[in-house]
Every structure is written in structure tokens, then in C-alpha cells.
Amino acid sequence: MAYAGTMPIPLLFFALVPAQSTGVSLAPHVDWPLTGSQPQEVAVVDFDRDGDLDLVVSSSGDPDQTLKWNDGTGVFDDEESIITAFPSWGVGVGDFDGNGWPDLAFGDGWYGGSDVEVWFGNPADPARPVLGAVLAAGSFPIALRGGDVDGDGDDDLVVANDVSGGVMLFRNLGGGVFGTAEQLPSTASMACRKLELADVDGDGDLDVVLTAYGLWVFPNDGTGHFPVRNHVGASGHVGLAVADFDQDGILDFATSALYSNVVDVIRGDGAGGGRLIGSVAFSADVTGLHAADLNGDGLADLVGVLSWPGQVAVVTGHGDGTFHTAQTFATDVAPQVVASGDFDGDGDPDLVTANRVHGADATVSVLDDVSPPEAWRHLGLGLEGPSGDLPLLRGSGATQPGGSVRLDLEHGAAGGNAVLVVGRARRDLPFSGGVLVPRPDFVLPPLPLDAQGAGAWNLTVPPTTPVGSSAWFQAWMDTRDAASNGLRLTIG
């Protein structure tokens, strides 16, 4: 079903508008050597607080953890070493001593090791962090994350152990003084691998998300206690990404298992659970995952690490938990993990991988995001319908003034009707249990949807086209019980 018509008043102003991007452009990788060997994790943080993002890379081959300083343009040719008492597979970041400077945590990667070292950032000499605490964790503390889990204003430390001890919480008592380890219930025998802290149930506090030969979520009761363990997915060990992949305002999950090229996508239910909604097959085994909006359309994209043959694979988000065809980009040899940050200050998230490079110095590879500006931007704020589907609105069109632009709706009410709301401003007004994103300057007549809940609007564009102007769109079912994401078009 489709609507075609001419807007009776010049509500919208269009110039030449590309179709909504389904890809990303990354410059060839630039490699920077590491002093440590066999890197396993890279943290992106402005460690010296100079306004640009630096890298902290953990070394699982020796006790040399590497700080890579950013010169402000994405060049990482300067570095410092943090010499720990052990090699480390992971690195955690938080402001543990409360002085406003980032601090670091490393876990003992020797066989049978159990110590965790906390290093405080040093405002007097950022290149010389100070060892502030040594904590007793379980055996092989492999993943570490900092965050205020008990709501007292201090960053606590959560540690996942691979061999024994499960997941442990070290409460920050203030000033970087930690209490003894508190083991999360039902984790003692879990072989943990990946760990994230995120508010997956939307109650304002940080929950624990864990891979341990499966995906597990531990909802926070608001006091830093985690009485419930939810088994959310059968897949999940070496890869974990947490993001809102379907624009419903609830965090979702992507996981990859050991020795597998398949990534499972699990839709979060907002209560610490979820259900499998699909999978993505990559061209090689996936050894790490990361989520970021790389093409600037407002949707979470997914990046997979392919250690062999030495690539990252990017699948851009469609906005409903599915993804477009993978693009692959070369890195240095044997990448282990990928992260993102705007390293060169151009407003786009760039990628960085940490690479083992067998037989030579380990490196980090930086891939600059050179994707062109995206005219269409998804804004989320949709309202799920009674069927459980979230309508998806996308824009396209390569039009000149007086031409046409197309808006496609999917996952609407099957056989129902939808109206398109158009505005020259964004308002985010409470409406019928959801959010009305555009100012309602213009509302198109109801459009009948097909049996799959799909429809399209083909609009004739007025001739006036000031560059830089924007328009906002949103589709509502005429029953007012479901709405699409908001969508913004910016003329560039």
C-alpha cells in the first residue's frame, strides 16, 4: 500500500537527498606497536584529561600493560607502561578514588592467580598512575568493570572469574577503599568470560550482564545486590555487545559462542530477560563483538572481530534487530577485541582493535570512520503495538526540489491504517501512552497497510530548499496504540 501526493503548504524543504545509508566507510588500518604482548582488551578513556581519547591495552603475555596516548588527531605514537605483578586479560575503568580522574583495574592472568590491582590516575603526572589497592578475587579474574552499582555515588568494581569464584562485587567504601569480595548468588561454578554493566531493566541502576557458556543477566535490586540469575541465551562466551538494536528503548544483546561464526541477537524484555529474534552469520569465527552507530543514522551497528583472517566485519543496523550485509575491513594480524571512540575529533566513532601479531610486536589498529554524513537519522521513541511488534519507519530518496521522497513503514498493524505526522520541529510530546516526536504541523490521511503491516508514503517535495533545514516524521496507527520511531531528515 502506498500514498502519493503533494504537500499543500511548504512545510518541508529538500535538497538532493541520498537514500538512507546501509553501509559504512573506514579508512585503511594504521597500526601502532605495543610494549606488552598478547593483548586481550582495549579500554577507550581520556586518561590524561586533555580532551581526547587514549587507549589502555591489557597484556596477557607479560605484566606490561600499555597506555597509548592520543595526540588529538588519532595518532598513538607515544606510550607508557604500567607494570603490574602479573599479566592481565582484562582492564576495568572507573573513578574509584573519587578525584575526577579515571582509574584502572587489572586481574591476575597467571594460572591460579587471584589478585586484582587497582591503579589510581595521578593528576600530578598522568603518565605515572599509582597502585592504590590489591584485592583478593577468585581464580583467573578475566573481566573487570567499574560502576556505581549500589547508588552511593562511588564507583564499585565487579570482577568475573574464569576458573572459580564466579562473579564478585567489591563495594567502594569511599576514596578507593574496597570491602571484601561479595560473590553473586549462583555464580560460584560458572566459567566466566565477558562482562558488562548496563541498566537492562530500565530501573535506573546497573545490572550485570555475563557470558559463561551462555548469556546471563543479574538484575540489580537497587542496593547493589543481585538475588536473581536469568538465563537469557544459550549462545554466548567470547563475544558480547549490549545496545538497543530495535529502537524500543530497551537494551538488547548480541552474543557469539566459542569457535562459531554465528552471532545471536536477543531482544531484551525490559525485565532482565529476553528472547532470540535472529542471528547473523559472518564469514569466519567471531572472537569479539562491539556495538556503535558507525554510519550516523541513529541506529546501533554491530562489529565482529574475525581473528583469522585478520578483519573486522561491520553489519549496519536496520532498526528492528536485523542487520544489513556484512562489510569486512582488514586489521593487523590476529585481532582479539574491538572498541570505538572519536579519536580524531571529527564527530564520527572510529574503530580500534588490539592484535596479537604472532612472531612480531603486538599492535593496535586504528580504522578512521570516513562515512559521509547521513541525511536520515532514527530517533527511537516508538510505541510497541498490542501484537508485540514495534513499527519501523525508514526514509529514502534521491530527489531534487519538486521531486519525491519515500518513507517506508514496516511492522505496523496488519491490515490496519497508519497516519504520517510531519513537522518542522521536534517536540517529544506525551501522547496516547507513547511519545509524539514531530511537532504536528501536518498529518497525512490514513494509509491502509497490507497483510504484513507495511505501507509507504511517496511525497512530492516543495521547491524551496535551504541547506541545513530539517524535517521530522513519525507514523502512528490510527488506533493510537502503536507508533514508529521518530525520523529526522537534515539537508546537507
Q: What tens digit of pLDDT does each residue of 3-60 get?
A: 554 433 333 333 333 345 578 999 999 999 999 999 999 999 999 999 999 999 999 9
| pLDDT score of 259 | 95
Q: What is the CA radius of gyration of the chain?
A: 24
pLDDT per residue as tens digits for the range 94-130 = 999 999 999 999 999 998 899 999 999 999 999 999 9
Residue 402's pLDDT is: 64
Amino acid, res. 112: G
How many helices (DSSP H) and strands (DSSP E) are in the chain?
0, 42
- Supply the pLDDT for residue 462: 74
Assess contact for 427 and 438: CB atoms under 8 A: yes
* Residue 250, pLDDT score: 95
pLDDT of 490: 78
- In this prediction, residue 461 carries a pLDDT of 65
C-alpha–C-alpha distance, residues 46 and 39, integer Å: 20
The dihedrals phi and psi of 266, each to the nearest 5 degrees, come to: -120, 125
pLDDT score for 131 = 98
Q: What is the DSSP string of 154-223?
A: S-EEEEEEEEES-EEEE-EEETTEE---EEPTT-TT----EEEEE-SSSSSSPEEEEESSSEEEE---SS
For residues 294 and 314, the answer to whether their CB atoms sit within 8 Å is yes
Q: What is the pLDDT of residue 19?
A: 42
Q: Which of 323, 302, 304, 324 is nearest to 312 (CA)?
A: 304
Residues (pLDDT < 70) of the chain are 1-21, 398-403, 461, 465, 491-492
Q: What is the DSSP annotation of 280-343?
A: EE-SS---EEEEE--SSSSS-EEEEEETTTTEEEEE-B-SSS-B---EEEE-SSSEEEEEEE-S
Predicted pLDDT of residue 235: 87
pTM for the predicted model, two decimal places: 0.91
- Shortest CA distance to 47 belongs to which of 90, 86, 94, 106? 94
